[in-house]
């Protein structure tokens, strides 16, 4: 299918060293010829950077640039493409872009370059989505997972599981086609065994907690009664004086959040208002916010003050502790007046024990089995979940002794959901929705 030629600024807006204008489509050669003049006798050699000028309609200079001519099909979109490297900032790239439009190109829609790569069969839908996930990755783990997906990790997994499902379906078909030759109870037993294995593989890949940690990061909340040193600990963990610290209880009023990287996972660390009964309306709102932050946290660091006896407020927090909690005994540089079994002993003031806390936090937010092997895309997880439900239905119907061909209907459904992940039978609507979330120029 002949598609019009698209163009866009592919670099982020704002000041920078260079800005790149790229184009793709059947008219790419003519458009590049019309807006680029190589220096001297230089001619455009495919895939080689050429120095020259971007020029306007009357040959006037628009910018000093480097241009590359990329004839298809060995390109990102599989079409003829070009890229022009202009000076950074908003003006030069805009002028060159306007010129390509004057020559007949059209501004690309978000993700349209990648959409063409998909429509032209270079990559499947899950790999196209990986491009966007990689651009938006906020941590080392997220980038690793996206890169693995881009290399075909998700597609490979879908293919493998689909083949296994097809194997099960073939056995069921043999049963119904040749009932005299196949032992049905034996076939049912084998199918159940295989389905259990497929089931476990999909569940392992699609662990939603890991996916969320990789995609969005973890949330860690520092909680405790006033004046125990939460803000001091926040600053010690960030290695900067971010939160206000005073000897006045009730200093922190709002939730204060900063990002840190823990073992390649992005974590949001929040300091909160000290939790106590208070008549001050502002402080009360702060305490309510602290409680809400604790509710939504992946990890709660309960901070106690070693230099004071434990109070009813400390006991209340310890009473509410659960599997997400880490108990820390702060101010261990001062004479001891309290303790707590299993607590991490530290001092935000001297830094003693802070490294140990970082290690523990890193352990708590780590993704089991490695980030690369996890499915992280929301769309993929939803479809994998639906296929899992269909497989479960098949398992149940076999276990209930129903005819095997009923299970086959469920397995066919499971297969359909899986193939939507790679976009094999994705509708135009699904495809459009996927690419809408992309940025222009990608």
CB-based burial, 50-72: b 16+ in 10 Å, e otherwise: bebbbbbeeeeebbebebbbbeb
Which stretch in 45-53, 55-63, 159-167, 239-247 sits in contact with ligand GTP by CB under 6 A?
Answer: 239-247
Residue 386 CB contacts under 8 Å (≥ 6 apart), including other chains = 417
Classify residue 341 as exposed, middle or buried by CB count within 10 Å of its CB (0-12, 13-18, 19+).
exposed
CA distance 188 to 168: 10
Cβ-based neighbour number of residue 21 at 10 Å: 30
Q: Does residue 270 touch Mg ion according to CB under 5 A?
A: no
Which of 147, 310, 349, 393 touches ligand GTP by CB under 6 A? 349
> 307 vs 397, which CB is nearer to Mg ion?
307
| Site pattern 271..290 for ligand GTP (x: CB under 6 A) | --xx----------------
Q: How many residues bind ligand GTP (CB under 6 A)?
A: 24
Q: With contacts defined by CB under 6 A, name the span among 49-57, 94-102, 219-227, 366-374 that binds ligand GTP.
A: 219-227
Q: Which stretch binds ligand GTP (CB under 6 A): 148-156, 230-238, 315-323, 430-438?
A: 230-238
Of the two residues 47 and 336, which places its CB atom closer to ligand GTP in the complex?
336
Whether the CB-CB separation of 325 and 287 falls below 8 Å is answered with: no
249 forms part of the interface with ligand GTP (CB under 6 A): yes
Kindly indicate which of the ranges 79-87, 293-301, 342-350, 425-433 contains the residues binding ligand GTP, using the contact rule CB under 6 A: 342-350
- Which of 113, 115, 64 lies closest to 87, judged by CA? 64
Give yes or no for residue 11 binding Mg ion (CB under 5 A).
no
Q: Pick one of 85, 114, 330, 419: the residue that binds ligand GTP (CB under 6 A).
A: 330
Q: Is 155 in the site for ligand GTP (CB under 6 A)?
A: no
Contact between 333 and ligand GTP per CB under 6 A = yes
Residues 208-237 that bind Mg ion (CB under 5 A): 230-231
Q: Which is nearer to ligand GTP, 3 or 340 (CB)?
A: 340
| Residue whose CB is less far from ligand GTP, 176 or 251 | 251
Token pair, residue 31, equals 């458009």
Task: Work out whether 310 is an interface residue with ligand GTP (CB under 6 A).
Answer: no
Under the binding rule (CB under 5 A), the answer on residue 252 touching Mg ion is yes
Stretch that binds ligand GTP, among 331-339, 382-390, 406-414, 425-433 (CB under 6 A): 331-339
223: β partners: 302
Choose among 10, 189, 188: nearest CA to 100. Answer: 10
Measured in whole angstroms, the distance separating CA 236 from the mean position of its chain's CA atoms is 28
Residue 177 near residue 359 (C-beta atoms within 8 A): no
Among Mg ion, ligand GTP, none, partner that 380 touches (CB below 5 to 8 angstroms by kind)? none
Closest CA to 79 of 26, 131, 29, 1: 26
**Binding partner of residue 150 among ligand GTP, Mg ion, none, CB under 5 to 8 Å per kind?**
none
Q: What is the DSSP letter of 40?
A: T
- 64-68 long-range contacts, CB within 8 A, separation 24+: 65/36, 65/96, 67/32, 67/36, 67/38
Contacting residues toward Mg ion, per CB under 5 A = 230-231, 251-252
Residues engaged in binding ligand GTP (CB under 6 A): 224, 226-232, 245-247, 249-252, 273-274, 330-331, 333-334, 347-349
């Amino acid at each position: 299918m002949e598609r019009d030629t698209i163009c866009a600024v592919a670099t982020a807006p704002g000041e920078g060293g260079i800005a790149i204008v790229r184009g793709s489509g059947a008219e790419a050669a003519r458009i590049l010829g019309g807006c680029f003049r190589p220096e001297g006798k230089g001619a455009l050699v495919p895939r080689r950077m050429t120095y020259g000028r971007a020029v306007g309609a009357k040959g006037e200079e628009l910018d000093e640039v480097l241009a590359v001519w990329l004839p298809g099909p060995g390109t990102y979109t599989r079409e003829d493409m070009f890229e022009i490297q202009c000076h950074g900032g908003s003006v030069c790239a805009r002028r060159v872009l306007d010129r390509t439009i004057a020559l007949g190109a059209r501004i690309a829609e978000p993700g349209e370059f990648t959409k063409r790569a998909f429509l032209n069969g270079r990559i499947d839908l899950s790999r196209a989505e990986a491009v966007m996930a990689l651009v938006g990755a906020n941590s080392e783990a997220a980038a690793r997972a996206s890169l693995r997906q881009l290399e075909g990790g998700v597609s490979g997994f879908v293919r493998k599981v689909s083949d296994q499902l097809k194997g099960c379906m073939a056995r069921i078909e043999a049963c119904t086609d040749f009932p005299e030759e196949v032992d049905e109870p034996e076939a049912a037993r084998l199918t159940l065994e295989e389905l259990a294995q497929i089931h476990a593989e999909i569940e392992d890949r699609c662990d939603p907690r890991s996916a969320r940690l990789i995609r969005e990061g973890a949330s860690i909340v520092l909680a405790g009664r006033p004046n125990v040193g939460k803000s001091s600990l926040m600053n010690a963990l960030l290695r900067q004086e971010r939160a206000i610290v005073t000897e006045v209880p009730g200093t922190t009023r709002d939730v204060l959040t900063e990002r840190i990287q823990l073992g390649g996972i992005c974590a949001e660390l929040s300091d909160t208002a000290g939790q106590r009964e208070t008549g001050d309306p502002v402080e009360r709102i702060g305490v309510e916010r602290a409680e809400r932050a604790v509710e939504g946290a992946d990890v709660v660091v309960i901070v106690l003050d070693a230099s004071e006896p434990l109070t009813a407020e400390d006991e209340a927090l310890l009473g509410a502790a659960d599997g997400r909690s880490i108990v820390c005994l702060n101010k261990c540089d001062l004479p001891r007046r309290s303790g707590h079994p299993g607590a991490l002993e530290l001092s935000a003031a001297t830094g003693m024990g802070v490294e140990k806390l970082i290690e523990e936090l890193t352990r708590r937010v780590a993704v089991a089995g490695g980030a690369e092997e996890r499915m992280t895309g929301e769309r993929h997880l939803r479809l994998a979940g639906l296929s899992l439900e269909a497989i479960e239905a098949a398992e149940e119907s076999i276990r209930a002794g129903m005819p095997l061909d009923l299970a086959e209907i469920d397995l066919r459904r499971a297969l359909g959901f899986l193939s939507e992940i790679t976009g094999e039978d994705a509708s135009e609507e699904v495809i459009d929705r996927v690419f809408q979330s992309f940025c222009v120029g990608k």
